[in-house]
Amino acid sequence: MKNIVILISGSGSNMAAIAKAAEKEAWQAKWGLRVAAVISNQTQAKGLALAKSLGIATETLSHRSFDSREAFDTALMVRIDQYAPALVVLAGFMRILTPGFVAHYAGRLINIHPSLLPAFTGLHTHQRAIDAGCQVAGTTVHQVTAELDHGEILAQAVVPVLPGDSADTLAARVLTQEHLIFPQAVRSFFERGG
């Protein structure tokens, strides 16, 4: 069995898209893949209840309980490693990870970012795309490296920036594409031998 551990900080909609695709497409029967756990750094993250409703084990580990980023990441690795993950998925996990964490999961750590990388790394991507006059925006699934929002691009989806778009309307359109490409990218990771 190849375990997937998903890290979230909020609503968990991308986590749910992956978990529902795994169930609908019978990933466990076909490829021996399962979403083993969802871990959040936010104890009140709405995605935790959603994961539980999907029958997935959940855990929380608040970064606020630690004196340093390194201490939190070390404790988080202990939590993740109990599931012996073949893949760790960052699905709206709003923490910048330490180089030690990234190195520990090198080659098996992926993230989704709400822009067409390499454009608009970091935060406020939708407003920045609008302010720059972009005709298109989108989302990227990528391997995680020590450099923020870099790493090999695994999948991208493009959406138009429409006249009158706000950051919220553009974000909503991008999110619908995230829900499509993220499960596909996870499946493709394993199909390529991940």
The residues annotated with a catalytic role in the active site are 113
**DSSP of 114-150:** SS-TTSS-SS-HHHHHHHTT-SEEEEEEEE--SSTT-
Give residue 173's identity as a one-letter amino acid code: R
Which tokens belong to 124? 């406020």
Is the preceding omega at residue 183 within 30 degrees of 0, hence cis? no
- The span from the CA of 179 to the CA of 73, in Å, is 27
- The span from the CA of 76 to the CA of 39, in Å, is 9
Distances (CA, A) of 148 to 14, 38, 91, 165, 186: 20, 22, 15, 27, 20
Q: Are 42 and 63 in contact (CB under 8 A)?
A: no
